[in-house]
Chains A and B, each alone.
Chain A
Amino acid sequence: EDQVTQSPEALRLQEGESSSLNCSYTVSGLRGLFWYRQDPGKGPEFLFTLYSAGEEKEKERLKATLTKKESFLHITAPKPEDSATYLCAVQAEGSSASKIIFGSGTRLSIRP
């Protein structure tokens, strides 16, 4: 069964303290892996799509990387406004068109 597991569940960092969030996945074949950010009471905001192992993408203080088994979201010198829940999702080959499977998320809190 296709599965996505994110760790840690929650992470508290000091402003400027860099760290990484993990997303491990088990799928029969990967079409794409997605990272979203979700603020309380709002919908997920798209960050990145990764398609193949070795691919990397960056946006401001965030960098996403992908291997055959997992993805990392690296946060460099975070600021309080980076506090949010970060969601990882995968689309598997063979699944109907565009159904994507979400992990439970990592709640990131950045203290000033």
Chain B
Amino acid sequence: NAGVMQNPRHLVRRRGQEARLRCSPMKGHSHVYWYRQLPEEGLKFMVYLQKENIIDESGMPKERFSAEFPKEGPSILRIQQVVRGDSAAYFCASSPRGGSADTQYFGPGTRLTVL
């Protein structure tokens, strides 16, 4: 009964490179959420997706960031042309239904370091 899986766990990129973070939700869950946790700060919502649909991207920066959750395969958070300020822990969560205070279960996170 695997939980939410994220990979890689650690990712190092140089400024200007692209970062791709992957998230596989818990079995039976079709709703995925991405959060960012900056050092010494709380978790901040970025985007909420269902299969093949972006439901809410209000927390995602307008430029360089994109997310997808294809019909097959994991959800991907993509950061183009990374900058030092993108260094953070990125967490993915999943839930079975997506509404009415549906509990979100978190993965272990991907720690992105931009050199």
Contact = CB atoms under 8 A, between A and B. Distances in A.
B101 A91 contact: yes
Interface size, B (range): 20 to 34
Interface in A29-61: 31-32, 34, 36, 41-46, 49, 51
B105 A97 contact: no
B112 to A, nearest CB: 14
Contacts of B6: 43
A43 B107 contact: yes
Nearest to A99: B45
Max chain B C-beta neighbours (<10 A), residue from A36, A43, A89, A102: A43
A58 B48 CA distance: 30
Interface size, A (range): 20 to 34
B12 interface: no
Interface of B: 4, 6, 31, 33, 35, 41-45, 48, 55-56, 58-59, 91, 95, 98-109, 111
A97 B91 CA distance: 18
Contacts of B100: 31-32
A96 B103 CA distance: 15
Given A32-B101, A91-B101, A99 B107 contact: no
Nearest to A45: B106
B9 to A, nearest CB: 9
Max chain B C-beta neighbours (<10 A), residue from A89, A99, A104, A105: A99
Contacts of B102: 98
B49 to A, nearest CB: 10
B101 A44 contact: no
B31 A104 contact: no
